[in-house]
Amino acid sequence: MRFVIIGGDAAGMSAASRARRNDPELEIVVLERTDDVSYSACGMPYNIADPDRPMEELVVRRAEVFRRKQNIDLRTGHCVEAIDPAARTVSGSVRGGERFVEPYDRLLVATGARPVVPDLPGIDRDGVVFLKTLEDGRRIKTLLAARGVARVAILGMGYIALEMAEALRSRGLAVSMVKPRPGLLPWMAPELSAVVRARLEAHGVELHDGRRVERIDSEGDRLRVVGPELDLPADLVLAALGVVPNSEAAAEAGLELGPSRSIAVDRRLCTSQAEIYAAGDCADAFHVVTGRRVYVPLALRANRAGWAVADNVCGRPTELDGVAGTAVFRVFELEVARSGLTAAEAAQEGFDPVAVSIATPSRAHGHPGGDRIHVQLLGDRASGRLLGAQLVGVEGVAHRIDAVAVALHAGLTVARFAQTDLAYAPPFGPVWDPLLTAAHQLLKLLERGS
């Protein structure tokens, strides 16, 4: 059997490697349009923070290793442009113009996502950058070293934007951030968002939320981000406004699409065409709380989905439960995490959400150090079910959110979650863990129906 994979990053190479372990005789062909495969894209902001760290440190495994040690026919510089389900072929071009047509018995579309490019005059100017691929990271580090950059304007205030704000400030650069809607991350509870905002401003980041950008002008080597009541000078502009799935070839081939025009897949990662699978940032998933399709492009899902595809291709039926939207990032010593639904999302899905927010010590009383952990916990008034959580704090947040994720996968009620046996030791938290304290407070609200 011939297993062809389009895309050589997280989902694609996870699928290729697992398929080879499953079946040493399987013919595996990977078609990757760039020269980079299997790298840690999530580590790029932290790498960019250090001018002396080479970007190549983020490469997990080089293409030649896949070819030599795993007998995977990995072809870089191959851009797939069309999929023909009837003929079971993919076609495209090699860098330099040569055309190719490749037959398949089973196909995995793992084409990932690309940055949102806003419709702004000047967005294509020299000095306007995006951060999604390893080549993007290399370009940013090269520009920072060569242009005498002193001031950077960031369009957007999402995960990457906030991580990059810290990275650039750590290099001594002035940073301004701008977005059209008020507030930081749209999902974040206002009381938690205020904590993040205060930390950003304390580190000298200028925040211009609720400001619309009309264009990007240039004055020699310098740029200006311009809008009504907005005029930000910059030596570099980073557009970090989210991503969109690379699903055009799949759509043209007649594959069904899901949220945000991602490729719709079932729990076996199979598309609407029986021989074609999709995984990674180009594909959708099912949310474990709602059961509905969602587009949540995150690294763990991509790698896990790649494994599941390989198992299914090799005759080992495998289904994935779905995602809870669990995510964590760091910004200026603060750990920020979420899992599950926000109050607005829960209401939209037909729940009757009740939320409680608390701030509690991150360590036991009398134990030196520590800070405060801010927790918002969300439950459903009708069923008592736990729906989601958000956490912000300087310690104890990143892995604490995992308890919420497990509870959401298990469908626990707030009452059952409040009874979970969480670990305690003074250096790591109070006897009543912040999550348990929040759960008991939320349970009181749910029980009295207010």
Residues involved in catalysis: 42
CA-to-CA separations, 406 to 178, 287, 356, 365, in angstroms, rounded: 35, 13, 20, 28
Backbone angles phi, psi at 72, to 5 degrees: -105, 130
Buried b / exposed e over 22-60, threshold 16 CB at 10 Å, is ebeebebbbbbbbebbbbbbeebbbbbbeeeeebeebbe
Residue linked to tokens 């958000």? 390
> What distance in Å separates the CA atoms of residue 225 and residue 179, rounded to the nearest whole number?
11
d(CA 154, CA 152): 6
- In 325-433, alpha helices (H): 343-348, 401-410, 414-417
Q: Which helix (H) or strand (E) holds 275?
A: none
- Cβ neighbours, 10 Å, residue 207: 18
Reduced to 3 states, what is the DSSP secondary structure of residue 251? helix
Q: In sequence order, which residues have a C-beta less than 8 Å from that of residue 244 and are 6 or more positions away?
A: 113, 114, 115, 116, 260, 261
Separation CA 291–CA 177 (nearest Å): 35
CB atoms within 10 A of CB 165: 28
| CA 144 – CA 236 distance, rounded (Å) | 8
Find the angle CA(201)-CA(202)-CA(205) to the nearest 5 degrees.
40
- Mind giving me the DSSP string for 356-386? EEEEEESS-TT-SS--EEEEEEEEETTT-BE
305 touches 271 (CB < 8 A): no
Closest to 279 measured CA to CA, from 294, 269, 292, 290:
269
Residue 399 has a CB neighbour count (10 Å cut-off) of: 11
What distance in Å separates the CA atoms of residue 264 and residue 258, rounded to the nearest whole number? 5
Q: What is the rounded CA–CA span in Å between residue 277 and residue 269?
A: 6
